[in-house]
């Protein structure tokens, strides 16, 4: 059973990587992002989108971990 889970994880990871590569190849248009008056350099549309995705993938679990810390009861004893 553990090997099936491992194979499924590898397959899902490869599908995500493939989808990311296809997305990057399909979005080659050059854009300059402007945020609060700061203009970034010209780059492919896919780069800021993928960076936002990666940032969200890091922030999401971090916020979930912080929320789980606040839900733990203080002083609970385990027997």
Angstrom distance (rounded) from CA 75 to CA 72: 9
Q: Tell me what pLDDT residue 38 has.
A: 87
Q: Tell me what pLDDT residue 75 has.
A: 60
Q: Tell me what pLDDT residue 29 has.
A: 86
Of 9-13, 59-63, 72-76, the poorest mean pLDDT is in 72-76
pLDDT, tens digit, 9 for 90 and up, residues 20-70: 888 888 888 888 888 898 888 888 888 888 888 889 889 998 999 888 888
Q: Tell me what pLDDT residue 46 has.
A: 84
Provide the 10 A C-beta neighbour count for residue 47: 14
> Radius of gyration over alpha carbons of the chain, in Å?
20
- Global pTM reads 0.56
Provide the 10 A C-beta neighbour count for residue 48: 13
Q: Tell me what pLDDT residue 49 has.
A: 83
């Amino acid at each position: 059973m553990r090997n099936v889970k491992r194979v499924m994880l590898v397959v899902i990871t490869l599908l995500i990587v493939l989808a990311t590569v296809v997305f990057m190849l399909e979005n080659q248009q050059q854009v300059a992002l402007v945020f609060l008056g700061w203009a970034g350099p010209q780059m492919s549309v896919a780069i800021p989108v993928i960076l936002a995705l990666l940032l969200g993938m890091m922030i999401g679990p971090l916020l979930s971990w912080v929320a789980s810390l606040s839900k733990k009861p203080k002083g609970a004893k385990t027997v």
